[in-house]
Amino acid sequence: MSGSGRKSAYRKGVTNKVLNGNPEPQENEQIVRVIALRGGNLFEVQDADGATSLTMLPAKFRKLIWVKRGDFLIVASSDNEVSTAEGKKGAVTSIVEHILYKDQIKNLRTKGLWPQGFDDMAATQESAVANAEPEEDASTQETNTEQKGTQMVMSDPNALFVNRNRRRGIIEDEEEEEEEEED
């Protein structure tokens, strides 16, 4: 276990660099958005132009940093497919270099390094949500109250989710047993 101290300090440094650093994309790096998680530390990402590709999270970030759908990353892309340690080639076309958080994104925007395509996507999504909201009048308010009543019944967590991996246990009422014992 003599190497665990060094590994711990290394992992602490990686975490500190990811959380507190201000990364900037280099020549062969680009900013992408995670659109799907593929498992095995693989992510489907979309660049500012809308092109999708598959990227891989390196071992130094595993079990330290979690990436979810919608997060932004800086990836090192290559023209060819990335080869693994065994020499195999796959569908992975880039490797994650940095995970971007709100403060880091804000810093990139102030420096003018943020891709315009992501701002355009966000604006179109916000306008689509705004257009989807209908104008409310008296008749729609009545239907909304009726719908809210049914939604409250449907929002009961026991009614929505049934875990089929576990058997239902027999639940006996203790109150009934106590009443029988008292008689």
Q: Using one digit for the tens of pLDDT, what is the confidence trace for 98-107?
A: 999 999 999 9
4-117: CATH architecture:
Beta Barrel (2.40)
The pTM of the full predicted model, rounded to 2 decimals, is 0.59
Could you report the per-residue pLDDT of 110-147, keeping only the tens digit for each? 999 898 888 776 655 555 555 655 444 444 555 555 55
Residue 23 has pLDDT above 80, yes or no: yes
Between the CA of residue 109 and those of 3, 20, 90, 114, 169, what are the distances in Å? 41, 17, 34, 5, 56
Q: Mean of the per-residue pLDDT values for the chain?
A: 75
- CA–CA separation, 108 and 99 (whole Å): 13
Extract the tokens encoding 109. Answer: 């925007």
Could you report the per-residue pLDDT of 47-57, keeping only the tens digit for each? 999 899 999 99
Q: Where are the domains of the chain?
A: 4-117
- Write 105-111 long-range contacts (CB < 8 A, 24+): 105/72, 107/22, 108/24, 108/31, 111/24
- CA–CA separation, 39 and 42 (whole Å): 6
Please list, in sequence order, all residues whose beta carbon lies within 8 angstroms of the beta carbon of residue 34, skipping any fewer than 6 positions away. 43, 44, 45, 67, 68, 69, 70, 71, 72, 73
